C-alpha cells in the first residue's frame, strides 16, 4: 500500500516538472525573438564615431590592465564586438614557447566588423620567430604587426609591417612581401586585426610562432638587441656585414642615455653604411609619440634627427633568396648646435653687414640639415648722388658636389649663384660677388653623405662710385666673339665686375682670353662654368690667360685695396671655336726611330675638357 502511494507521488512531481520546463522554453523563445540577428545585420552597418571610441577605450583599458604583469600565462579575454564572432584578446606569456594565432572562425570566413588583439610577451632569453601560414582578408580589413620591447620597465611598440585586404587576390605586396619575421632576444610580438565587411567570404589568417634559445655554438646570426641606449660616444646599433637570412630584417628603438639627457644632448647623428638592395629606414617621433617624418633608402648616408624618439629598421627584398650582409649602423648624441641661421635679416644704413654660417660651423657634419634665410634690403632715403647701392658677398666653404648652397633674388627667383655640382676647392673661398641692392634668399641643403662640411658667408651693403661699377651680375652677357677694354681708376678702392660669355652652338666651344695691366696684390679673377671653376691671383694676371669650355663662361673681377695705386687696364677677348677631336691612335715603335706626338690644335691653344688616348706597341724582344 505504501509503495503504491510513493509511485503516485513520484508521477505527480514529474508531471509538475514537465509543465514548468514547457513554460520556461516558451518564455525563452519569446525573449530570443526580440533579439535581432546581429550576425547578419551588423555586417552591413558601421559603428558611429561615439560607439567606436567607447569600444576602443574599453579595449584599451582591458589591455592596459592585462599588461600590468609581464608574467601572464596564456589567457583569453573577450573584447566587445557587435557581431558576436568571438573576437578575443589573446595573451601568451613568456612560458608559452610555441602556438598558433587564428582569426575568428578560421578557416571559415572572418567577421564583418570588430577588432582582435594578439600579444606574445617577450622572453628575456629567447628570440621569436613568426611564420604566416595562410592569409586572406576582405577588402579594407587590416592585420598589423608591432614588436614589443621592454624599455625602462614599460611596454614599447615598434611598428613592423601590415597587410590590407584588396579586391585583387593576386596582390603579393602583403607585409611588403614577407611571410616570416624574426626578432632579437627579449622581444615580443603584437598583432591587431581590424575586420571590414566580408563580402567574398575571406578566410582570415593562420600564424604560427615559436621561441628560439640562443645557441652560441652555431654561426647563425640573429638580430642584435632591439633597445639601444645611445650616448655622446659612437654606439653600435647593427653589426657590419653579418650573413643574415631573415629578409624581413631587424627593428631597433634608439633612446638617449641618462648622461645625454643630463647634458641636454637633444639631437642624434645616425651613421649608416649599407649595400645596394639592403634598405634602412629611420623614423622620427615627437615628444607625444606622434610620427613626424621618416627616411628610407639603400644608400650609405648620415642623418641628424631629434633624439626624443628614434626607430631604425633594416630589411632586404623578399624576392632575393640568398642571405645578405647586414648594414653597419652607429649612433651618437649631439647638442643642438646643428641649428640654422636666423630665418630673416635686414641690411640697412645702420646694420650694413651680416655673417651667415652653416649649422654646427665649423666642426659638425650636420648632414641633411636644410636651412633657408631671407635677407631684406630696404631702400635707403637720400642716397648720395653718383654712387651705386650694391651688395658685396664673400663665401668660404668646404662642400661636396651633392651639397647645395644657393643665393637667389627674392623678387624674381633668379639664381645669383649656386655651389651644387661645381668642383669646389675647400682650400679656397668661393668667388666674391657684387649684386645690385635687392632682397635675397640663401638656401642651404647638405646631402646625407658622411663628411665634414661648412660654409661661411659675409654679406655687406655699400655705396660705390659709379665709375667703379663696370658690370654687376649678369647685367652684361656676350656671345659669338668680341673684345673689351676696361679702365680701372686709382680712385676705386672697391671694384667688382661680372661678365658672361655664352655659347649658343652645341658643336663649338667658348674661349676667353684676358690680361690685367698693373695688377694689385689683392686683385682676383674667377672663371667658372658648369664644367670648371678656376681662380687667378696677382702673380698670374700680368700674363695672358685663356679658358675654354663647352658651356657658358662667367668671369668676375674683384679688387679691394686701401692704398693709392696707379690706374690699371683689363683686356678681355672671346670667341667660339670648333670642338677638338681626339681620335684614338696606335703607334708601332721600331728600334732606332723617334716619334713625336702633339696635342690637338698644337701649336694653337690646347683643348680643355678633352681626354686623348694613344697606344704604343714596342718591337718584339
Residue 338 and residue 444: Cα distance in Å, rounded? 13
Which pLDDT tens digit goes with each residue over 212-245?
A: 887 665 556 788 888 999 998 889 998 767 778 7
Which pLDDT tens digit goes with each residue over 504-521?
A: 777 788 899 999 999 988
How much is the pTM? 0.53
- pLDDT band at 7, cuts 50/70/90? low
Q: Identify whether the C-beta of residue 600 lies closer than 8 Å to the C-beta of residue 582.
A: yes
**Cell numbers given for 152:** 625602462
Give the C-alpha distances (Å, rounded to integers) separating 9 from 1, 4, 18: 13, 9, 15
Give the C-alpha distances (Å, rounded to integers) separating 8 from 16, 21, 22, 266, 451: 13, 20, 22, 92, 104
Quote the distance between the C-alpha of residue 327 and its chain's center. Answer: 16
Query: Which of 77-81, 439-443, 478-482, 493-497: highest mean pLDDT?
Result: 439-443
Q: What is the pLDDT of residue 108?
A: 87
Q: Identify whether the C-beta of residue 555 lies closer than 8 Å to the C-beta of residue 512.
A: yes
Q: Looking at domain 344-457, does it have CATH number 2.40.110.10?
A: no
CA nearest neighbour of 360 among 337, 391, 376: 337
Q: What is the pLDDT of residue 375?
A: 96
CA nearest neighbour of 390 among 436, 334, 354, 455: 436
92 sits in which H/E element? strand 88-92
* N residues, the chain: 621
Average pLDDT, the chain: 77
Asked if pLDDT for residue 456 goes beyond 80, the answer is yes
The strand pair at 188-194 and 291-297 is best described as unpaired
Provide the CATH number for the domain formed by 227-334 in this structure. 2.60.120.290
The DSSP 8-state label assigned to residue 239 in this structure reads -
Can you name the residues that pair with 268 across neighbouring β-strands?
A: 305, 333
Give the C-alpha distances (Å, rounded to integers) separating 433 from 395, 418, 438, 458, 500: 9, 12, 14, 11, 13
- The residue with greater pLDDT, 214 or 41, is 214
Look at the domain 53-213 and name its fold: Jelly Rolls (2.60.120)
Q: What is the pLDDT of residue 65?
A: 41
Cis peptide preceding 107, ω within 30 of 0: yes
Q: What is the pLDDT of residue 384?
A: 57
The strand pair at 115-120 and 98-102 is best described as unpaired
Q: What is the pLDDT of residue 106?
A: 85
Which pLDDT tens digit goes with each residue over 553-593?
A: 988 888 877 777 788 999 999 998 887 777 667 888 888 88
Q: Identify whether the C-beta of residue 552 lies closer than 8 Å to the C-beta of residue 563.
A: no
Q: What is the pLDDT of residue 517?
A: 93
Question: Residue 599, class by beta-carbon neighbours within 10 Å (0-12 exposed, 13-18 middle, 19+ buried)?
Answer: middle
Q: What is the pLDDT of residue 429?
A: 53
Residue 112 and residue 115: Cα distance in Å, rounded? 10
Residue 399 and residue 484: Cα distance in Å, rounded? 34
Q: Identify whether the C-beta of residue 477 lies closer than 8 Å to the C-beta of residue 502.
A: yes
Look at the domain 477-578 and name its fold: Jelly Rolls (2.60.120)
Are the folds of 53-213 and 227-334 the same?
Answer: yes
Can you name the residues that pair with 131 across neighbouring β-strands?
A: 180, 208
Give the C-alpha distances (Å, rounded to integers) separating 349 from 260, 380, 436: 44, 7, 15
Which pLDDT tens digit goes with each residue over 323-375?
A: 888 889 999 888 767 788 999 999 988 888 999 998 877 766 677 788 999 99
| Phi, psi angle pair for 62, to nearest 5° | -60, -45
Residues 6+ apart with CB under 8 A from 33: none
- Domain chopping of the chain, boundaries: 53-213, 227-334, 344-457, 477-578, 584-621
- The residue with greater pLDDT, 234 or 57, is 234
Amino acid at each position: 500500500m505504501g509503495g503504491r502511494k510513493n509511485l503516485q507521488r513520484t508521477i505527480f512531481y514529474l508531471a509538475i516538472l514537465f509543465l514548468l520546463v514547457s513554460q520556461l522554453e516558451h518564455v525563452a523563445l519569446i525573449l530570443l525573438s526580440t533579439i535581432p540577428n546581429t550576425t547578419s545585420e551588423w555586417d552591413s552597418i558601421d559603428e558611429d564615431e561615439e560607439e567606436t571610441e567607447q569600444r576602443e577605450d574599453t579595449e584599451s583599458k582591458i589591455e592596459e590592465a592585462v599588461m600590468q604583469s609581464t608574467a601572464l600565462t596564456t589567457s583569453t579575454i573577450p573584447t566587445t564586438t557587435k557581431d558576436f564572432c568571438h573576437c578575443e584578446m589573446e595573451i601568451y606569456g613568456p612560458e608559452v614557447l610555441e602556438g598558433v594565432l587564428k582569426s575568428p572562425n578560421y578557416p571559415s570566413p572572418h567577421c564583418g566588423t570588430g577588432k582582435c588583439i594578439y600579444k606574445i610577451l617577450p622572453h628575456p632569453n629567447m628570440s621569436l620567430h613568426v611564420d604566416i601560414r595562410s592569409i586572406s582578408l576582405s577588402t579594407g580589413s587590416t592585420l598589423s604587426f608591432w614588436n614589443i620591447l621592454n624599455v625602462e620597465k614599460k611596454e614599447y611598440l615598434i611598428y613592423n609591417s601590415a597587410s590590407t585586404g584588396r579586391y585583387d587576390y593576386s596582390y603579393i605586396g602583403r607585409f611588403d612581401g614577407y611571410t616570416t619575421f624574426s626578432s632579437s632576444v627579449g622581444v615580443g610580438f603584437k598583432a591587431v586585426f581590424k575586420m571590414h565587411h566580408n563580402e567574398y567570404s575571406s578566410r582570415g589568417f593562420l600564424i604560427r610562432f615559436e621561441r628560439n634559445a640562443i645557441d652560441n655554438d652555431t654561426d647563425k646570426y640573429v638580430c642584435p638587441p632591439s633597445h639601444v641606449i645611445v650616448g655622446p660616444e659612437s654606439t653600435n646599433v647593427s653589426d657590419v656585414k653579418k650573413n643574415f637570412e631573415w629578409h624581413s630584417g631587424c627593428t631597433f628603438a634608439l633612446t638617449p642615455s641618462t648622461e645625454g639627457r643630463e647634458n641636454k644632448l637633444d639631437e642624434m647623428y645616425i651613421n649608416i653604411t649599407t649595400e645596394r638592395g639592403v634598405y634602412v629606414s629611420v623614423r622620427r617621433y615627437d615628444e607625444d609619440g606622434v610620427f613626424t617624418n621618416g627616411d628610407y633608402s639603400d644608400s650609405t648616408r648620415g642623418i641628424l634627427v631629434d633624439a626624443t624618439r628614434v626607430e631604425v629598421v633594416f630589411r632586404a627584398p623578399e624576392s632575393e633568396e640568398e642571405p645578405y650582409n647586414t648594414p653597419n649602423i652607429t649612433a651618437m648624441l649631439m647638442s643642438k648646435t646643428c641649428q640654422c641661421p636666423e630665418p630673416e635679416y635686414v641690411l640697412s644704413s645702420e646694420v650694413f653687414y651680416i655673417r651667415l654660417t652653416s649649422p654646427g660651423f665649423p666642426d659638425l657634419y650636420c648632414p641633411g640639415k636644410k636651412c633657408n634665410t631671407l635677407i631684406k634690403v630696404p631702400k635707403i632715403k637720400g642716397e648720395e648722388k653718383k654712387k651705386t647701392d650694391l651688395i658685396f658677398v664673400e663665401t668660404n666653404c668646404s662642400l661636396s658636389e651633392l651639397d647645395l648652397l644657393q643665393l637667389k633674388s627674392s623678387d624674381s627667383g633668379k639664381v645669383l649663384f649656386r655651389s651644387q655640382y661645381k668642383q669646389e676647392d675647400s682650400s679656397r673661398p668661393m668667388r666674391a660677388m657684387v649684386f645690385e641692392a635687392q632682397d635675397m634668399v640663401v638656401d642651404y641643403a647638405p646631402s646625407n653623405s658622411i663628411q665634414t662640411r661648412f660654409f661661411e658667408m659675409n654679406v655687406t651693403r655699400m655705396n660705390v662710385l659709379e665709375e667703379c661699377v663696370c658690370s654687376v651680375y649678369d647685367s652684361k652677357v656676350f656671345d659669338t666673339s668680341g673684345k673689351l677694354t676696361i679702365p680701372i681708376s686709382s680712385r676705386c678702392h672697391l671694384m667688382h665686375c661680372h661678365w658672361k660669355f655664352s655659347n649658343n652652338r652645341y658643336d663649338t666651344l667658348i674661349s676667353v682670353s684676358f690680361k690685367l695691366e698693373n695688377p694689385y696684390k689683392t686683385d682676383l679673377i674667377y672663371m667658372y662654368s658648369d664644367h670648371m671653376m678656376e681662380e687667378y691671383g696677382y702673380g698670374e694676371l700680368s700674363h695672358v690667360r685663356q679658358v675654354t669650355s663647352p658651356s657658358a663662361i662667367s668671369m668676375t673681377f674683384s679688387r679691394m685695396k686701401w692704398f693709392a695705386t696707379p690706374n690699371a687696364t683689363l683686356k678681355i677677348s672671346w670667341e667660339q671655336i670648333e670642338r677638338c677631336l681626339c681620335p684614338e691612335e696606335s703607334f708601332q715603335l721600331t728600334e732606332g726611330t723617334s716619334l713625336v706626338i702633339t696635342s690637338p690644335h698644337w701649336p694653337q691653344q690646347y683643348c680643355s675638357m678633352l681626354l686623348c688616348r694613344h697606344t704604343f706597341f714596342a718591337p718584339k724582344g
